[in-house]
Structure formats: C-alpha cells, structure tokens
Amino acid sequence: MKVMLVDDSSTMRRIQRNQITALGVTDIVEAENGQHALDLLKINMPIDVILLDWNMPIMDGITFLKMVRADPSFKQVKIIMCTSESEKSHVVEALKVGANNYIVKPFTQDALKEKLGIL
C-alpha cells in the first residue's frame, strides 16, 4: 500500500507517519497543502490512499478533493478526509464531492487502522 499524507502541520504528518509505519506501511509521500499534493500525485502514482486535511493554506482539502475527482486518471485513489471539522454538514459535503471515508482528529492508531482496513 502506498499512502499520501496531506496536512499543513508537519507535526500531524509525523504523527500519521508514525501510526501508518507501525501498521506496516512504509511507502509514504507527504504534501503540505492541496497544490503541493496535486503536484506530487502526478509523479507518484499509483497511490492507494490519501489522508487529507481540510483547513490548509494555498489550497484546502475540499478543493483538492474536487480536482482529484474531476481527473479520471486518479479514479482509483481512495481519499480519507482527516480533519478536526466534525460537524455532520462537513462530513456530508466531503462524501458528496468524492471522499471515501472521514476520520475526525484526534484519532488513535486503532481508529486509523479501521479506516484503512475498510477501504
């Protein structure tokens, strides 16, 4: 499994990297905003799963999600929104524009394992 972590916080990317590595995944790409992720996605395919933050500068997660879903070449990429925005309206919006799943920060390694496992 190849995973991309998209979060403007290097600390959060490091926490997620620690959690995912402990689950046995070592092929990990990191991006610090949506635009950076788009650039890296094009040269790092195939990527199986993207853990995507919502609030980021330059390009936020929901804009990135819409752009990825508009490009058929990224059709197979699973996207998990990974954000502190936990209102139902946010979850509905993310799923509506193409997120495969949603996990609310803060989360445990077990919760992340469960989300990755059901994809």
Q: Name the site residues for other proteins (rule: CB under 8 A).
A: 8-12, 14-15, 18, 55, 57, 83-87, 104-108
Minimum CB separation from other proteins for residue 47, in Å?
Answer: 23
By beta-carbon proximity to other proteins, the closer residue of 49 and 85 is 85
Task: Output the smallest distance, CB 90 to other proteins, in A.
Answer: 9
CA 8 to chain centre: 12
Q: Which is nearer to other proteins, 38 or 85 (CB)?
A: 85
Phi, psi angles (nearest 5°) of residue 87: -65, 150
44-60 burial, b for 16+ CB within 10 Å, e for fewer?
eeebebbbbbbebeebb
